[in-house]
A and B are shown apart, each in its own frame.
Chain A
Amino acid sequence: MNLEDILLKQFGFNTFRPGQKEVIESLLRGKDTLAMLPTGSGKSLCYQFPAYVLKKSVLIVSPLLSLMQDQAEQLKMRGEKSVITLNSFLTYEKKREAIEHLDSYRFIYLSPEMLAIPRIIERLQKLEIGLFVIDEAHCISQWGYDFRTDYLNLGNVRSILNNPLTLALTATATKTVQTDIKDKLKLEQPKEVITSVDRSNIAYMVEEFSSYDEKLKRLMQLVNSFDGAAIIYFSSKKAAESVATFLQENGVKNIDYYHGGMEQEQRMLIQQQFLRGQLRIICATSAFGMGVNKNNVRVVIHFHLPQGMEAYLQEIGRAGRDGLQSVAILLYCDGDEGLPLHLVEQQLPTNYQIEQTCASLHEVGIWNIEPKLEIDLREMYTLTDVQWRWITHYVKEFEQEEPLLITEKLKQIAQTRRVENQTKLERFFRWIAVEDCRRENILSYFDVMLTEKNQTCCDRCGVVTEELLEILPHDEQAGRALKKTWKQELAAILIGEAKNIEEQTS
Chain B
Amino acid sequence: MQNYFDMIVLDCIRIINGERSVYAILHMLKGKKSSQTIQDVHLFGLTKLLGTLPDLTRRQLEITVDHLLQSGLISTLPQNGYYMITSIGQELLKQHLDKYPFPETLNGFRFQNRTQTYWSRLSLLIQTISHIIHKQNRFYPIQRNFQTQTWVKRYLALNRQNRAEIGRHLFDELSMLLEKRPEKERDIFVKRLTGIDRIGSTYSQIAKELDDDEWHVRYLFLGTIHFMLQKMDDTSGEYPYLNSVGKDIQGNSHIQLTNSTQMTLKYLKAGKSLEEISYIRKLKRSTIEDHIVELAYSDPQFNISRFMTPKIAEEIRVASKTSRTKQLRAIKEIVDNSEISYFQIRLVLAKVGDDS
Contact = CB atoms under 8 A, between A and B. Distances in A.
Tell me if chain B binds chain A.
Answer: yes
Given A90-B146, A248-B208, A486-B190, A494 B168 contact: yes
Nearest to B183: A486
B323 interface: no
Interface string A64-80: 00000100010001110
B167 A495 contact: yes
Interface string B19-39: 000000000000000000000
Interface residues of B, number: 43
A473 interface: no
B168 A496 contact: no
A73 B141 CA distance: 8
Contacts of A238: none
A94 interface: yes
Contact of A269 (B147, B197, B199): B199
Nearest to B209: A482
B175 interface: yes
A54 interface: no
Interface in B159-186: 164, 167-168, 170-171, 174-175, 178, 186
B59 to A, nearest CB: 10
Interface stretch (A18-26, A271-279, A352-360, A452-460): A271-279
A269 B208 contact: no
Given A268-B142, A486-B186, A489-B190, A494 B170 contact: yes
A494 B171 contact: yes
B154 interface: no
B26 to A, nearest CB: 14
Contacts of A480: 196-198
Residue from A276, A478, A479 whose CB has the most chain B CB atoms within 10 Å: A276
Contact of A275 (B140, B191, B197): B140
B199 A494 contact: no
B75 interface: no
Contacts of B139: 77
A247 to B, nearest CB: 13
Interface in A65-107: 69, 73, 77-79, 85, 89-91, 94
Interface residues of A, number: 38
Contacts of A487: 175, 178
Contacts of B168: 494-495
Contacts of B133: 494-496
B197 A479 contact: yes
B201 interface: yes
B126 interface: yes
Interface in A246-285: 248, 256, 263-266, 268-270, 272-273, 275-276, 278
Given A91-B147, A256-B205, A495-B168, A272 B142 contact: yes
A493 interface: yes
B43 to A, nearest CB: 27
Contact of B203 (A73, A248, A266, A496): A266
Interface string A465-492: 0000000000000111010001101111
